[in-house]
Structure 1
Amino acid sequence: MLAACNGGDPSEDTLEPLEVGAARVCAEANGCQRSADATCLCGTTRYTASGAATSSLRCERAMETARDQALAKATAACPAGYCNAVEQEGLCERAPSGAYHATFYLTYSCKDPATCL
């Protein structure tokens, strides 16, 4: 990717190479500024987020809450979002108290670079 950008004098525009995933935007008064490119790639490192929840109503409600927790953890861990997600429901058991306890797992990768759109 190439972009024309200099210190602000339009008569001295030059082309300079930029790293992948970045673009430069020139404002007349500000010179060059980095901005995010729309190109995202899925990273190769895999992570696992888990959620655990209890519901007095039923197993499905506990599992839904546990899933929401795992998705929120993945969203917080990946500034540009996550990708290649694999969802796995864990056990849902009824405790002696009568409440249902569920676990949920999300294995995912983060989109790269973290500044992509």
Structure 2
Amino acid sequence: MKLIVGRPRPDFFYRCFPDGVETAELQCTGDPMDVMEGRKSFPSGHSSCFTALWLCGRLRAVSRCRGSAARVLACLVPLMMALCVALSRSCDYHHHWQDILVGSTLGFTVAVFCYR
């Protein structure tokens, strides 16, 4: 999907021109592998929730037994870690927010499908 869409990352300019100065012909002077990787932004593949689903199933966090708050919180830890990774990708200018939203939605959908 990243190869088909080919949306540039927010830091693409500095991948293409590492010194911050563009050439007259607009020919990239950066590392060719970095430049190619800079064209693969959509969707982000860094946040997933399969671990959280698996943990909820193993701990029976959504069952009707009393005192399951600790189990639910244990299931939320992987989701919080995925959220932190997703936010860090945006803060580091490696992904646009749309890339992260679509990647997280896609990851959640595939994780639910595979888990079920």
Could you say which structure has the larger radius of gyration?
Answer: 1
Structure with the higher fraction of residues in strand conformation:
1
Same fold (TM over 0.5): no
From the two aligned structures, give the one with the greater helix fraction.
2
Q: What TM-score, normalized by structure 2, do the two folds share?
A: 0.30
Greater RCO (Cα-Cα under 8 Å, separation 6 or more): 2
Instruction: Give the alignment's TM-score, normalised by structure 1.
Output: 0.30
